[in-house]
Chains A and B, each alone.
Chain A
Amino acid sequence: MTRFVRSYSWELLLVVLIVVAGIWSSNLSPYFLDPVNLLTSAQFFVIFSLMAFGLFPVVVHGEIDISLASTLAVGSVMFGQLAVAGVPLIVALPIVLLATGILGAINGVLVAVAGLPSLAVTLGTLGAYRGLAYILAGDTGITGIPAEYRTLGSTWVGIVPLAVLLVLVVAAAFWVLMATTPFGRYSYALGNNSAASTMAGAPVARTRIAAYTLAGVMSGLAGLVWVSQYQSARGDNADGTILFVLTAVVLGGVSIKGGSGRAVGVLLAIILLGTIQTGMKLANVPGTSQTLVIGALLIGSIGIPSALQLLRRRFGVRRPAS
């Protein structure tokens, strides 16, 4: 039991924070704890969740991908155009996911094969893919999405929206992927020490490219959710959301330096951010002021433990040995 507590201390802290945020929110509004309200609010965070899970293995590698929101825009615009052209979803889905996967793979090749810094590469492709999305969408964007493409955003299984179920499935899939498969093991290994992984014969480049490709595919999937929820697609879709997504991943206990982090942490971080945002909406806090709280949470989650460590190192010596 203590071992469980020790190794999952971060996740347990997130659970405690979720409970605190939940109590605070239900004090603000009696309707907050209504399951239908909760699940309806949860829908809003589906797009962020899918991107966050896509980003998660990349961050475990010690890399970053800030181009994901632009990849999402390309995906959503492609879905929109295929939908308007009358292509059935079952055909469009593999086409778009392949395309966004290729966009991700381009990042991966530039980082893993050419050895370029991931932040600079994805800063470049952030602009390039956004430009691509605008070019594909044209000035006006795409509206009049047919019903088939709206299913994901408008179907409910009992009281649970289908899109929320999708997130749970994705979370489970990423848990399995990172905890049990060779890809996951290599990811943690090369996140901890990529030089040692290379010398040990781990397929470093291939694993990196796979992670970036997967991130692209997840952004494409998030693009489908976008189209299904907003029933339109434009070049500027999801612009600026990467900050929220990265916050979720880091808050979930995934070290930005690589090598650690779990899927369940990412899921809990999203639930926490979602609870806080929903609560602040109930308290009529304007959207832009909410970013203050989220930023403070991000810094606090990493800064407080290291501040404590610093204080302990400075004053701990004087403590008598027990």
Chain B
Amino acid sequence: MASDPQWMGYHRADGAVGVRNDLLVLSVAGLTGPCARRVAAALPLAKCVTMPFGGGLLGADRQLHIESLIGFGANPNVGAVLLIGSDVPKVQLIAQRLKATGKPVAAVCLDDCDHDVLTLSHRALRAGADLLHEISRNRRQSAPVSALCVGLECGRSDPSSGLVANPLIGLLTDRLVALGATAIFGESMEWLGAEHWLAARAVSPTVAQALTSAAARRASLAQAQGEDLLGNNPGPTNIAAGLSTIEEKSLGAVAKSGTASIQGVLRMAERPSKPGLYAMDGSAYSPESVSGFVAAGAQLVLFSTGVGNSYVSLLAPTLKICANPQAAAVLRNQLDFDASAVFAGHSTLHNAAEALMLLLLEVASGTLTWGEILNEGDEVVSRLGEAL
């Protein structure tokens, strides 16, 4: 491995570097999702994010909604943003925050179109076409690894995940963080049983406390609904597969985070303030979890799976990494990296990490993932409670 690897990306006005150069058609209201999809369908190069809610949100829900919208738009992979919304103040709030990044932003509102969605669609389509033309002039230039922020996820795990794929991601994370990059792992439910290890890696007692509190809060949330995350864990299937204790199961999951110091605990969609490794306190369900990373600025996702998992981020190319030989053989057009040689005893984690680093830089520089080719991507924002 070269000592100072570089990749080719799109340098943005705010200093961030994108691994893609997308026009994001972003619906900021539940009402305007269909219009955003219509406009994006007419502009096949655009990517479209909609969500079926927006009005009447309260407290943490409202904060997460706004931070996610701004976060998707501000993600370095997005070259320009077309905002489509209902009421002018909300659209303008988000537009102003996004314009501060220096990227081109256009905004259209139902309020400005006499509430005629056809007028809205027409204006949005013209604005989107102009933005696509503008960002097509951007070119890739050399960028350091320190410009990368990587999300770390696992889904549909099996014994090969905890033994090979997650430790492999952990090795790569250590290398990325040592080179000055940022990495975010989430799924705080899975910290239960490994909190002591995570807390020992925290940069401060405050961060250590935040890690243990986040795991305990997930356990309480489950308990309040009659589910016990600690008793009967590992379950009979886990035990038959060789897992003996909750510590072992959790360590296998959080092995993705490697061994670096943990700089902080982020809310869903919260942007890290400086480089390094971060923990995000969020849902363990991949679509919500990964979208939290992407809204926080992740340009790439390292995603391990055992039996296969088709979900990828829409905005952040997602590398599917698998060490299960059967899945690796069958899911040829889903999995981007085959680590099954390690699981079969033919290769080492270190050799696999070197090969995966090369693939990561290749994908950062433009090579497509299977998820991008098959258009499997989505972004979704968690809902935490009821609306007014």
A and B assemble together: no
